[in-house]
Amino acid sequence: MRDQYPSAGVLRADSGRGTVVYRVLTSWYRDYLVSGTAEGRTTRVRPLGPAVRACSGRQVSLPIMTPDGRELGARDESTGTTKLFELRDDGTCTEVLDFELPTTKVAFDPGGRRVAFAVPPRVIRDGRGRPYPGVGPDAADRLHGVFVFDRDRRRIARVPGSEEARRLTIPEWVGGEGVIFLLAADRRDPTSRFRFVPLGGRG
């Protein structure tokens, strides 16, 4: 699957039959039936249809799927902002939410209700140094780091300690307990290190 970042979701599972239907996404997706998942049985993988382009009719990049395979987060190239989309079985998408900011690829917690992403320093200024539309000049200078958006509470918060991330940072969830991200080496600090920030389990 040579393409963009791969992600997968579980559309449905039948523990009695030992089968799971996975949806695997790059810039296209395909559904697979995995059978024989019980201990001691041979596992078989069978595609359930052809590959389908995700969000056909839209220009999106960096798509990442929710754990249930029904939604994805991606950059909408027509607006330059990161959005959440509902993904239909025919490949078309319906916009669910616009973050109104350019971000790195997103990461969903196990429940799919919290979304982590990063905003690199000064990325929300254009080539002439002007703030991104809708963002004030002061916010453009300090709005960077790793953030978590809680879809149920409709709140966004910066992850403590992530303001030290001065280069491209891509966060990932560790279960539903917290977020891990890389603090990459630079001239100020020659040592790269990972930082895990517990946020409490809701997944």
Q: The pTM is what?
A: 0.84
Maximal C-alpha separation, the chain: 61
Quick: pLDDT tens for 48-86.
999 999 998 999 999 999 999 999 999 999 888 899 999
- 3-class SS at 142? helix
**What would the pLDDT profile of 121-162 be if each residue is shown by its tens digit?**
665 544 454 545 445 555 555 677 899 999 999 998 889 988
- Residue 45, pLDDT above cutoff 80: yes
Per-residue DSSP letter, 137: H
Residue spans per domain, the chain: 1-98, 104-203
Residues 6+ apart with CB under 8 A from 34: 19, 20, 21, 22, 43, 44, 45
pLDDT band, residue 187 (cuts 50/70/90): confident
Q: State the pairing for strand pair 193-198/178-183.
A: antiparallel
